[in-house]
Amino acid sequence: MKVPSWLGVIRQTAFVVDDIEREANHWVKFNGIGPWFLYNVDIADTTYRGETVRMKARMGLAQSGTQQIELIEPSSEPSIYTEFLDSNRRGIHHVCYWAEIAAAREHFQSLGCEQAQYGTTRNGNEFLYMTGTENIPFIEIVDPNQSMATFFDHVATSAHNWDGSDPVRLL
């Protein structure tokens, strides 16, 4: 099946991990990818599998060429991240597209995918996770506003100009 042109390209590949700092340093050492920008996320109201929950995690972003890499270390609150770890899974958790949320939800539902988690960041960015496949469990859709696009551009520019110093940066 051809991907609709409005969906664009996969912008990010994400991994759920037990220890984000260890994994970020691993990516630096073995893949030469950095710098990593680590930060905390705390979103009071997200919908996870139909229930309203608080989503808390440590996240990290880096860039490799045109591909953004995300690491996620979840807290213990129920989420698609803890669901993944609790099922003894490791590796790729999701891929991410930038698209309009309602259209993407409808598209993926037409393929048999189900909504797994939905929310809005404190900066007003909507995000949606749809169920995926065995090898890529979730598909994330983000409808980025200017602040998110600016931050992602900063991550990409930092990687392009990176001299190897300060490989893991806490925000």
* DSSP string for residues in 80-120: HHHHHHHTT--EEEEEEEE--HHHHHHHHHHTT--EEEEEE
Helices (H), the chain: 20-31, 80-86, 101-110, 146-160
Q: Name the CATH topology of 8-161.
A: 2,3-Dihydroxybiphenyl 1,2-Dioxygenase; domain 1 (3.10.180)
pLDDT digits (tens, 9 = 90+) for 106-145: 999 999 999 999 999 888 889 999 999 888 999 999 988 8
What integer pLDDT is reported at residue 8 of this predicted model? 85
Question: 121-141 in b/e burial notation, b at 16+ Cβ within 10 A?
Answer: beeebbbbbbebeeeebbbbb
Which residues of the chain, if any, have pLDDT below 50? none
Identify the pLDDT of residue 145.
83
